[in-house]
């Protein structure tokens, strides 16, 4: 559903200095006798807490197995058993017979663990409890949830209970460090529930209310140059120090994604490959045979080999320049192993890539109107069905667009009634209409914004409610403008808002605001820069429980894919991506007459060549521009050159062309020009032979051969040269007739028919 489309967050990694989730105190019944647990496994005992069956056989097996492990307490025996390191589906195999008895009692093997936890004799780790979901934790008196909202989501409640069980803390004793430590090992959906739990703990005053969201608390700092080198385990240490210094020197002049890409090319694709070939390599003076192997075998298998070659060549050249004023780099300076010849094919490769992009744009451009119409219709359809469903009482039938539906009275496990569940009575399909309508809206908004602005995906994600403003020109005209924050090229720009875009932005603002007076402030995580933004009123935000989030790159991809699917364009030839809209925008802008230097500023490009690479020029555009050129040239000529011809001139014109018809075809000399070959048409290159006259030409050619033979017999040597020239010209004209016939047949031949031999 919608969460499946939106959920794109990376797993939360623990920072290097993250706190560990430790037990707050020892279990109070860690040395209790087995009889205490057997008594607690009987219904209607002081330790009942919801027990409705006799679980003593399960508890007995659990106790007998734990007793075989060393330790003075139940907790130590549990730790010695190694159960927590076993897979979540087979952990009970460590207790022989436990699974079989659990099946006979129609219960879960985890009931024995639940009883030990209830009596505070055992505290499994948070990671184990998160992994094994069938161990009940609710109803434990030692870990009260007093004051915590009982209507919170199931995953939120379980996340808090796991925290209390693993640490032995009361709800009021939980700290932000405990939540962060648990987030490092938690999995979905408990991790999401933990984020909601932190927001609830803020409202209850248990943790400071000014804490940032859990994702920001638990996210490790982005790796710097030293961390990038250390992560790749570069050896020897001197080379690792050199790469660290080099990346630090380049960092101020590039953005973080570029620095990451640079580290990948230099460390992984260059140095680690060189070391794999020559483990003794300790400097940049690579042997010629190793360098040749690297350029042909190692780099040759990469998809974009030139990116690696340019990065390595740039490093060698940078070090050579720096060595002139820094003694440290002098010891590393050497001739580059990548020459200009090695990168000579880059322009050819780039032209091929651009040509492939242009061809793709030409294929998908005709599908864009169909896509826009389809998502408009789908949004209207889903929202209209949602309105009809919400106005129908629970359990009642209703009809919409000729189909019968039932408004269901229950949402089902894990689904809120806010999803507006309905059932299609014709297909018996259960539909969560509110979620489907929400998915249709976000797909509609994303596609229209990208189509109208040509913005990058990350720029669309960074749109805020304050980005739209009104500008009054000196003429008094008011214009609606959209501010685009700097992204890839660090160039801030302003776009003129069309009425269609203004409509989409207004609906976006209304949807993001919800029931509040203004768009809520949200912290956005930039997956490229690996940094968090300050709280801003982002337009593309959604509410996940008690936490508001901004759509991530994968969410945009999923919503665009949904729009493509709705339009029926989900084929390799017509499937669009988010970045395709940027190329289509550039192409349409140039076709509409927008100068390329203005388009470069609109798109945020630093140079015109980048913009030209985005725009796919169609053949019809070439023809249109050529016609405009002809019109401009005609406008610069005297008007009398384009006056209407008189009747006499027209008669003379037609008479000229009527005189072009000759015996073997027609003359193609220009209008008003005399014949310069004294009507020797068979020798004239201006003769356009007619294939119909082929038999006549063959007769003339035969006669010429007879005349040639007679001239040679009679000794008329002056005639021989002239006749031979006429024969060669006649044979050439005969060949032209044959070619005209062949091309005509090929043009008329049906598809698939073999050519005539």
Whichever domain contains 466, its CATH number is 1.10.443.10
Residue 444 lies in a domain: yes
Confidence class of residue 416 from pLDDT cuts 50, 70 and 90?
A: low
52 and 148 together in one domain: yes
335 and 233 together in one domain: yes
Residue 361 lies in a domain: no
Residue 385 lies in a domain: no
Give the residue numbers spanning the domain of 165.
2-218
- Of the candidates 649, 658, 450, the residue with the CA atom closest to the CA atom of residue 563: 450
Confidence class of residue 141 from pLDDT cuts 50, 70 and 90?
A: very low
214 and 232 together in one domain: no
For 236, phi then psi, to 5°, come to -75, 175
Over residues 147-202, the pLDDT tens digits come to: 888 777 888 888 888 888 888 888 888 888 888 888 888 887 788 888 888 888 99
Using the structure block, give the residue that is written with the tokens 């489907």. 436
Instruction: Give the span between the Cα atoms of 500 and 544, in whole angstroms.
Output: 29
251 and 182 together in one domain: no
Residues in the chain, overall count: 757
Over residues 314-353, the pLDDT tens digits come to: 999 999 999 999 999 999 999 999 988 888 877 777 778 7
Decide which of 51 and 444 is more confident. Answer: 444
Residue 360 lies in a domain: no
Residue 403 lies in a domain: no
695 and 581 together in one domain: no
Instruction: Give the span between the Cα atoms of 443 and 456, in whole angstroms.
Output: 16
Q: For the chain, what is the domain count?
A: 4
Over residues 213-225, the pLDDT tens digits come to: 888 888 888 889 9
259 and 301 together in one domain: yes
73 and 160 together in one domain: yes
467 and 554 together in one domain: yes
Q: What is the pLDDT of residue 267?
A: 93
> Which of 324-338, 452-466, 476-490, 586-600 reaches the highest mean pLDDT?
324-338
The residues that bridge with 526 in the sheet, in sequence order, are 531
User: By the 8 A CB rule, do 404 and 426 touch?
Assistant: yes
Confidence class of residue 9 from pLDDT cuts 50, 70 and 90?
A: very low
Residue 317: HSE in the Cβ half-sphere, 13 Å Cα cutoff: 9
Q: Cα 110 to chain center, whole Å? A: 42
The answer, yes or no, to whether residue 2 has pLDDT greater than 80, is no
Instruction: Give the span between the Cα atoms of 113 and 122, in whole angstroms.
Output: 8
Over residues 257-315, the pLDDT tens digits come to: 889 999 999 999 999 999 999 999 999 999 999 999 999 888 888 888 888 999 999 99
Over residues 541-599, the pLDDT tens digits come to: 888 766 788 888 888 889 999 999 898 888 877 778 888 888 888 877 777 667 777 77
Q: Which of 218, 237, 256 is where one domain is finished? A: 218
Q: What is the pLDDT of residue 514?
A: 79
For all residues of the chain together, what is the average pLDDT?
Answer: 81
Give the tokens for residue 703: 């006669």
9 and 64 together in one domain: yes
Residue 362 lies in a domain: no
User: By the 8 A CB rule, do 361 and 584 touch?
Assistant: yes
Give the tokens for residue 158: 């379980």
Q: Which of 218, 234, 260 is where one domain is finished? A: 218
The answer, yes or no, to whether residue 7 has pLDDT greater than 50, is no
Residue 415 lies in a domain: no
CA distances from 397 to 383, 388, 404 (A): 18, 11, 7
Residue 588 lies in a domain: yes
For 481, phi then psi, to 5°, come to -120, 155
Instruction: Give the span between the Cα atoms of 694 and 700, in whole angstroms.
Output: 10
601 and 742 together in one domain: no
155 and 249 together in one domain: no
Over residues 573-583, the pLDDT tens digits come to: 777 888 888 88
Q: Which of 196, 218, 240 is where one domain is finished? A: 218
What is the per-residue DSSP string for 453-485?
H---HHHHHT-BTTSEEEEE-TTS-EEEEEEE-
The answer, yes or no, to whether residue 652 has pLDDT greater than 80, is no
Q: Which residues contact 7 (CB under 8 A, 6 or more apart)?
A: 188, 555
63 and 128 together in one domain: yes
Using the structure block, give the residue that is written with the tokens 């932190």. 198
The answer, yes or no, to whether residue 15 has pLDDT greater than 50, is no
């Amino acid at each position: 559903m919608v969460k499946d489309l939106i959920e794109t967050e990376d797993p939360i990694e623990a920072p290097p200095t993250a706190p560990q989730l430790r037990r707050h105190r020892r279990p109070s019944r860690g040395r209790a006798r087995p009889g205490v647990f057997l008594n607690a496994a009987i219904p209607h005992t002081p330790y009942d807490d919801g027990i409705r069956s006799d679980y003593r056989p399960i508890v007995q097996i659990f106790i007998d197995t734990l007793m075989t492990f060393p330790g003075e307490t139940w907790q130590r025996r549990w730790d010695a058993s190694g159960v927590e390191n076993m897979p979540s589906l087979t952990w009970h195999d460590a207790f022989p017979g436990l699974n079989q008895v659990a099946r006979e009692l129609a219960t879960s093997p985890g009931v024995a663990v639940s009883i030990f936890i209830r009596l505070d004799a055992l505290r499994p780790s948070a990671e184990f409890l998160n992994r094994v979901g069938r161990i009940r934790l609710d109803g434990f008196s030692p870990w009260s949830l007093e004051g915590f909202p009982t209507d919170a989501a199931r995953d939120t409640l379980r996340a808090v209970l796991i925290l209390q069980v693993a640490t032995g803390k009361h709800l009021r004793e939980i700290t932000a460090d405990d939540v962060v430590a648990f987030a490092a090992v938690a999995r979905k959906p408990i991790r999401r529930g933990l984020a909601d739990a932190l927001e609830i703990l803020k409202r209850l005053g248990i943790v400071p209310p000014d804490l940032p969201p859990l994702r920001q608390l638990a996210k490790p700092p982005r790796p710097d140059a030293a961390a990038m080198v250390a992560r790749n385990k570069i050896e020897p240490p001197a080379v690792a120090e050199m790469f660290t210094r080099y990346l630090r020197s380049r960092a101020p002049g590039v953005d973080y994604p570029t620095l990451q890409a640079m580290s990948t090319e230099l460390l992984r694709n260059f140095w680690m490959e060189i070391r794999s070939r020559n483990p003794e390599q300790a400097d940049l003076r690579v042997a010629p045979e190793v360098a040749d192997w690297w350029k042909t075998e190692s780099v040759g298998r990469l998809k974009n080999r030139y990116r690696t070659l340019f990065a390595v060549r740039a490093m060698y050249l940078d070090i050579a320049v720096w060595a002139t004023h820094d003694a440290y780099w002098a010891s590393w300076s050497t001739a580059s192993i990548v020459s200009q010849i090695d990168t000579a094919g880059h322009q050819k490769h780039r032209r091929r890539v651009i040509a492939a992009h242009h061809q793709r744009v030409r294929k998908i451009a005709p599908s864009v109107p169909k896509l826009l119409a389809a998502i408009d219709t789908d949004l209207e359809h889903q929202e209209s069905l949602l309105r009809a469903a919400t106005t129908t009482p629970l359990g009642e039938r209703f009809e919409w667009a000729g189909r019968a539906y039932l408004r269901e009275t229950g949402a089902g496990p894990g689904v809120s009634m806010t999803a507006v569940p309905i059932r299609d009575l014709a297909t018996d399909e259960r539909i969560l209409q509110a979620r489907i309508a929400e998915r249709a809206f976000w797909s509609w908004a994303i596609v229209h914004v990208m189509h109208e602005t040509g913005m990058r995906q990350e720029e669309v994600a960074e749109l805020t409610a304050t980005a739209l403003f009104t500008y009054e020109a000196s003429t008094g005209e008011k214009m609606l403008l959209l501010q685009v924050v700097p992204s890839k090229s660090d160039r801030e720009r302003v776009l003129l808002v069309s009425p269609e875009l203004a409509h989409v932005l207004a609906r976006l603002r209304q949807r993001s605001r919800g029931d509040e007076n203004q768009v809520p402030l949200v912290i956005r995580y930039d997956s490229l820069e690996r940094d968090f933004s300050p709280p801003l009123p982002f337009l593309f935000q959604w509410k996940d429980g008690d936490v508001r989030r901004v759509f991530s790159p994968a969410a945009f991809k999923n919503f665009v894919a949904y729009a493509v699917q709705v339009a029926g364009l989900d084929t390799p030839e017509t499937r669009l991506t988010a970045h395709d809209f940027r190329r289509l925008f550039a192409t349409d802008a140039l076709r509409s007459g927008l100068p390329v230097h203005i388009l470069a500023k609109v798109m945020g490009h630093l140079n015109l060549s980048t913009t030209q690479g985005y725009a796919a020029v169609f053949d019809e555009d070439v023809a249109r521009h050529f016609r405009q050129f002809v019109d401009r040239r005609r406008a610069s000529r005297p008007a009398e050159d384009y006056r209407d011809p008189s009747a006499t001139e027209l008669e003379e014109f037609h008479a000229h062309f009527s005189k072009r018809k000759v015996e073997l075809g027609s003359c193609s000399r220009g209008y008003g020009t005399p014949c310069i070959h004294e009507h020797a048409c068979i020798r004239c290159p201006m003769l356009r032979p007619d294939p119909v006259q082929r038999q006549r030409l063959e007769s003339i050619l035969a006669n010429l051969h007879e005349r040639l033979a007679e001239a040679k017999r009679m000794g008329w040597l002056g005639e021989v040269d002239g006749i031979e020239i006429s024969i060669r010209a006649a044979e050439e004209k005969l060949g032209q007739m044959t070619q005209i016939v062949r091309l005509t047949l090929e043009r008329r031949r049906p598809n698939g028919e073999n050519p005539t031999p």
